[in-house]
Chain A
Amino acid sequence: MIHTLVGDIPRQEFMLSGHNGCQGCGPALAVRHLIKISGPEAIIVIPASCWSIISGVEPFHSLKTVVLHCPFPSAAATGAGIKTGLEAVGDMRTQVIVLAGDGATFDIGLQGLSGVAERNEDIIYVCYDNEAYMNTGTQRSSASPYGSLSTTTPAPAAKSSPKKDIMKIVEAHEVPYAATANIAYPGDLLAKMRRAMQVKGFRFLHIFTPCMQGWGSPIEHTVKLARLAVLTRLFPLYEVENGEHYRLSYIPEEYLPVQAYLEGQKRFSSLQEAELAQMQKRIDRAWRALCQKAGVDPVIPPPKA
């Protein structure tokens, strides 16, 4: 079953206090965990995103590692170029980790991501997904969910298209390793990062990282919302090897309607009954499809009386 024990988390920190994340920042928490596994010798490549700021404004630096910033759409190719360059100068060991937000991954960097995945470049690509352009004040991205409000999908014109399924796109490239992870399940997140560090070739981690500023929720709800996304099956935890071997990391024991997750998020405040039903239908359908791929019982238990 899923690793949730805090005891699994190494004590050594490679992220410093005093970073530039907002209060309750999901992406900051994700990287604090990830970097415990990748350690100080990895090279981290960051395109324009929240982490452009969280890593520190010159001359400050919040990570005890090398961070290289690069233009918005270029992170995947830059990371792959670094890896090839390192090998050309005789360094076969150093890991290169791209750390990109959903905008840089789902939208403007998608072509480059597909390129490195198809060529099976030997890098780890981490997408920390907070479901909109949060660094610039909450504009919709193609990772924004159906029915959500943003400054470019303001009320009453909430986003009318569903969230892009980035995992399906990456899986279609038959990459050696792809997994979803979530800051509410740090044990699982660390285990997946460990696995990613061991695999050769292209590795992709899609990490769910709530943004309290953008979602309109209290700052103490980051982890709670992240957990509810998994418990409502909105963001299932799973991993895929070579595009065919699916493994569910966690199967919620109870059926929890998506409403439990949506409550308390201002971005969903304009959601109507019919839209809510539409959203639930989509979640149930995606869950069944995923269970089928993983070869587990797709039956969704009815809600408890």
Chain B
Amino acid sequence: MKSKLLNGNEAAALAVKLARAQVVCAYPITPQTSLVESIAGMCARGDFPGEFVNVESEYSALAYTIGASYAGARAFTATSSQGLAYMHELLHWAAGARLPIVMVNASRALGAPWSLEPDQLDSLAQRDTGWLQFYCADVQEILDTIIFSFRLVEETGIPCMVVYDGFVLSHTHEVVELPGQEQADAFLPAPPGRTALRTDRPQNIQAVTDYRYVSRVLQRRHRDMLKVPALIQSLAQEYADIFGRNYPLVETYRWEGAKWEETEAVIVAVGSAAQTVKSALPSFSGQGDKMGLLRIRLFRPLPKKEIISLLAQPRIKKVVIIDRDLSAGTGGIFAQELRAVLQGSPFQGDIYELNLAGGVDLTPNLLHRGLAALDRGGDDDGSGIIWGVDLQ
């Protein structure tokens, strides 16, 4: 293992190479582009184990990836924002067909208007497509999560989306521990090879069928989804044994010397925003609240049991959920999901929303202002949401 200075997209490209992906098909879109360029470059130099195909749209990129995966190849694609929205129909199809595809989405706001900011609605709007979703907080985690996901999708037959904030992570360099090929090979078995499309007997695959069959297919998918958190935990241990890094389903954090067991207020954050919260937490230590951070890493399936056990404690009086997305008319999506999870649990505190829709950059200052607004009784507009940017 050696250390290297990499940005998120470069780390992702190297992870795909380490995973020995056999077919990579993509269409470039900002801020994912340099990932695709990295893979194209490695291919051109003969330094990549698979085929890279640059197609004419995101729609075809996922269709092509689906085809390759059907043929038994280890397949990968990557996109962002409008591109992911354009893939929508096929996201459902890939999940329904139980194809072990890994995809990267570099978060970026959806238009209109055009924006390049790291709003996360692009991937969150795909929460019901039946894909697994990880949200990464740093560049090392991007690399590790991609390698990890190839094993996970092949064990579950559920495709996986690895999400990271556009620019904030895709284009920011960090020192990364780059695993050796032998480590990746120790964790990932050889690709599964020819399975579905065998021509030795006639088959009519995904033919029209009736509600009974569809209902059973959906129930099986639901049941298999529910098994995923436990599987991830056991695979994470195996990953840690080989790579030395262990990623939980949800991460908890307090500053040095503070114990989670003494936490009275919790900030829930996702992706790179969680890093900001981490760095800002010590500055709250003198303000009375005993604050902690809970970072949601796995969003689909949402690890409900773990979240409840961490938050539904009598001492926890306040939960502040940071969303960098908005379901207009309802609120942040993580806030919705957390409210649903805590509904009916022993949690008895108050839930607040700090909303950074549009990709508002979370600075320690903004965090301070947001929390101060909550202490004053919350928002001014009656929406129950503290906004990252004032409307006026």
Contacts and interface: CB of A to CB of B under 8 A. Distances in A.
Interface of A: 40-43, 45, 52-53, 55-61, 63-71, 73-74, 76-89, 91, 94, 111-112, 114-115, 118-119
Contacts of B386: none
5 contacts: A42-B199, A58-B208, A70-B63, A74-B93, A78-B66
Interface of B: 22-23, 25, 50-51, 53, 55-57, 59-61, 63-73, 75, 89-90, 93, 191, 193-194, 197-199, 202-210, 213
Contacts of A61: 202-204, 207
A89 B202 contact: no
Contact of A89 (B55, B71, B206, B209): B71
A76 B60 contact: yes
Nearest to B195: A89
A111 B56 contact: yes
Nearest to A86: B71
Contacts of A60: 204, 207
Contacts of B198: 66
B176 to A, nearest CB: 28
A46 to B, nearest CB: 9
A166 B59 CA distance: 21
B382 to A, nearest CB: 43
Given A74-B90, A84-B73, A85-B71, A56 B207 contact: yes
Given A60-B204, A77-B55, A119-B55, A112 B197 contact: no
A68 B208 contact: no
A71 B67 contact: no
Contact of B204 (A40, A58, A77): A58
B60 A77 contact: yes
Residue from B193, B194, B197, B204 having most chain A Cβ neighbours under 10 A? B204
A249 B156 CA distance: 52
10 shortest interchain CB distances as A-B pairs: A81-B67, A85-B71, A85-B68, A81-B64, A77-B63, A77-B60, A115-B56, A58-B209, A74-B63, A61-B204
Contacts of B65: 81
Contacts, number: 168
Contact of A115 (B50, B60, B199): B60
A115 B59 CA distance: 11
Contacts of A68: 70, 197, 205-206
B223 to A, nearest CB: 21
A57 B66 contact: no
Contact of A70 (B51, B93, B194, B197): B93
Contacts of B90: 71, 74
Contacts of B60: 74, 76-77, 111-112, 115
A78 B60 CA distance: 8
Nearest to A72: B89
Contacts of B51: 84, 87-88
A70 B66 CA distance: 10
B197 A111 contact: no
A82 B69 CA distance: 8
B23 A81 contact: yes
Nearest to B61: A77
B19 to A, nearest CB: 14
A65 B204 CA distance: 8
B23 A85 contact: yes
Given A78-B63, A91-B194, A119-B53, A70 B206 contact: yes
Contact of A80 (B22, B50, B64): B64
B93 A71 contact: yes
Contacts of A119: 53, 55
Given A40-B202, A70-B63, A71-B90, 19 more contacts: A56-B204, A56-B207, A57-B208, A58-B204, A61-B202, A61-B203, A67-B205, A68-B197, A69-B206, A71-B89, A74-B66, A78-B70, A81-B66, A81-B68, A81-B70, A84-B51, A86-B71, A115-B56, A118-B56
Contacts of B191: 89
Contacts of B63: 70-71, 74, 76-78, 81, 112
Given A43-B199, A70-B93, A81-B64, A112 B59 contact: yes
Contacts of B207: 52, 55-58, 60-61, 67, 69
Nearest to B67: A81
Nearest to A48: B208
A15 to B, nearest CB: 11
B39 to A, nearest CB: 15
Contacts of A86: 71-73, 194, 197
Given A52-B208, A77-B64, A115-B55, A85 B203 contact: no
